[in-house]
Amino acid sequence: MKKVNIGVAGLGFGKEFAAIYCDHPLVDKVAICTRNPETLNKVGEELGIPEELRFTNYDDMISHEELDAIHIVTPIKEHYPQSIKALRAGKHTACTVPMATSLDELREIVKTSREVGKIYTMMETSLYTREYLYVK
């Protein structure tokens, strides 16, 4: 089975997902993105992510040729525009809930996903917390 390359936007709770992806047997490369360079480098060092896969600019990350998918774990107001950008950049996209804040935005994400032929999924984050995984 082909391994995938994933970019994670947002390194608050997103750090947890980046760590999971780094250990996943079907993930080859993990890129990370946050606006704060100190956080970016701290998390990058902790997870062993090469400097060339660390981004402070979201547009730079989603335009990286090797990435297959983007996981958005940013503030809610960013979910809609970042989802649209990732899909239009040709990336499969996962986003923490809520995916948007209006019905029009929701419809636009679904429409864009269909137009570009990329998968969009909404991630219910409580299923992936360490506590849940430990209990499971």
CATH number assigned to the domain comprising residue 114: 3.40.50.720
d(CA 71, CA 49): 16
The arithmetic mean of pLDDT across residues 65-86, rounded, is 98
Count how many domains the chain has: 1
Q: Which residues contact 12 (CB under 8 A, 6 or more apart)?
A: 73
Q: If you average pLDDT over residues 66-89, what whole number do you get? A: 98
- Indicate the helix (H) or strand (E) that contains 102: none
**What share of the chain has pLDDT > 70, as a percent?**
91
pLDDT: is 86 or 135 the higher one? 86
In the structure, what pLDDT confidence band is assigned to residue 125 with cuts at 50, 70 and 90? low
Residue range of the domain that includes 113? 4-135
pTM exceeds 0.75, yes or no: yes
Query: Is-contact 118 93, C-beta < 8 A?
Result: yes
Amino acid at 99: M
64-75 mean pLDDT: 98
State the Cα–Cα distance between residues 85 and 108, nearest whole angstrom.
12
